[in-house]
């Protein structure tokens, strides 16, 4: 993969920009210094101070990945982000299912993956990533953000960080053992913790994630509970 990087001063959202403005060849990365309407998951927005972080999107055509295995894109991206971040941090980075990158109990990175499917194939895939790099203070009501600067006290060269991530992404893309690497890094794996679903709060142990990306929890009655994205919340 030889990513062409387009550096944009300002746009509403790099995911939207790639979808609507880019008509050239891929693989391509759109990196914006500032997004006026950065999209988070669901109806959330993504806070990122101008010029301080990495807010970028990749456009790929993953012909090798069938539509029913699209969760692999989440696995690849999450593992590549953790491995890249660990070059800068003293601590390990973990994956809060399905695709938030955490350091300790704090979120350092989020992603928004938008796949366009055609029959059993992925026609195109946009992977939007918001990585907190040099921001000192977070003002929105995002629950627990953190940046590399807050963790290390040091400024990070964002261009170098982006280029390291792209190399890690390419390596992870072809790695045979990516699913196990994803599962080994799961936040709270094997630990009893609090969760909330539409029946209320409960205690459970995170045991696995199914190949199609559903979370497997075992509650204190030994009952296995399976959840799709947004059906369960981690109580942090």
130 binds ligand BTN (CB under 6 A): yes
The distance of closest approach from Cβ of residue 53 to ligand BTN in the complex, given in angstroms and rounded to an integer, is 8
The tokens of 114 are what?
Answer: 């938008």
CA 17/CA 156 separation, integer angstroms: 26
The distance of closest approach from Cβ of residue 32 to ligand BTN in the complex, given in angstroms and rounded to an integer, is 7
Residue of this chain nearest to ligand BTN (CB atom): 110
* Residues 185/99, Cβ–Cβ less than 8 Å: no
Burial of 207: CB neighbours in 10 Å, binned 0-12, 13-18, 19+: middle
Positions of E strands within the chain: 4-11, 28-35, 54-60, 94-96, 100-103, 106-118, 121-131, 192-197, 200-209, 215-219, 224-227, 233-234
Q: Which of 93, 122, 125, 129 binds ligand BTN (CB under 6 A)?
A: 129
Nearer to ligand BTN, 215 or 225 (CB): 215
The distance of closest approach from Cβ of residue 172 to ligand BTN in the complex, given in angstroms and rounded to an integer, is 19
- DSSP-assigned letters across all residues of 156-211: --HHHHHHHHHHHHHHHHT-TTHHHHHHHTBTTBT-EEEEEETTEEEEEEEEEE-T
Q: Which of 40, 61, 121, 234 binds ligand BTN (CB under 6 A)?
A: 40
CA 109/CA 144 separation, integer angstroms: 11
Q: Which of 29, 60, 76, 112 binds ligand BTN (CB under 6 A)?
A: 112
Q: Which of 59, 82, 111, 122 binds ligand BTN (CB under 6 A)?
A: 111
CA 54/CA 190 separation, integer angstroms: 32
73-102 mask for ligand BTN (x: CB under 6 A)?
---------------------------x--
Q: Which of 19, 22, 26, 44 binds ligand BTN (CB under 6 A)?
A: 44
Q: Which of 128, 151, 204, 217 binds ligand BTN (CB under 6 A)?
A: 128
55 binds ligand BTN (CB under 6 A): yes
| Dihedral-angle region of residue 169 (phi above 0 means left; psi in -120 to 50 means alpha; beta otherwise) | alpha
Nearer to ligand BTN, 54 or 225 (CB): 54
Nearer to ligand BTN, 134 or 225 (CB): 134
The distance of closest approach from Cβ of residue 78 to ligand BTN in the complex, given in angstroms and rounded to an integer, is 12
């Amino acid at each position: 993969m030889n990513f062409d990087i387009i550096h944009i001063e300002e746009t509403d959202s790099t995911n939207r920009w790639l979808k609507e403005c880019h008509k050239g060849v891929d693989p391509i990365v759109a990196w914006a210094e500032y997004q006026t309407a950065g999209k988070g998951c669901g109806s959330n927005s993504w806070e990122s101070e101008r010029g301080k972080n990495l807010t970028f999107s990749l456009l790929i055509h993953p012909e090798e990945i069938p539509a029913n295995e699209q969760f692999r894109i989440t696995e690849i991206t999450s593992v590549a982000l953790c491995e890249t971040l660990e070059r800068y941090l003293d601590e390990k980075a973990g994956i809060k299912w399905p695709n938030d990158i955490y350091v300790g109990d704090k979120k350092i990175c989020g992603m928004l993956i938008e796949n366009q499917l055609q029959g059993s194939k992925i026609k195109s895939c946009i992977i939007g990533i918001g990585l907190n790099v040099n921001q000192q203070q977070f003002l929105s009501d995002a629950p627990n953000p953190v940046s590399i600067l807050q963790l290390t006290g040091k400024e990070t060269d964002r261009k170098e960080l982006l280029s390291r991530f792209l190399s890690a992404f390419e390596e992870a893309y072809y790695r045979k053992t990516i699913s196990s690497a994803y599962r080994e890094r799961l936040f709270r794996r094997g630990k009893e913790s609090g969760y909330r679903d539409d029946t209320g709060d409960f205690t459970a142990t995170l045991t696995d994630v199914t190949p199609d990306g559903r979370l497997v929890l075992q509650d204190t009655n030994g009952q296995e509970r399976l959840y799709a994205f947004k059906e369960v919340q981690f109580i942090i």
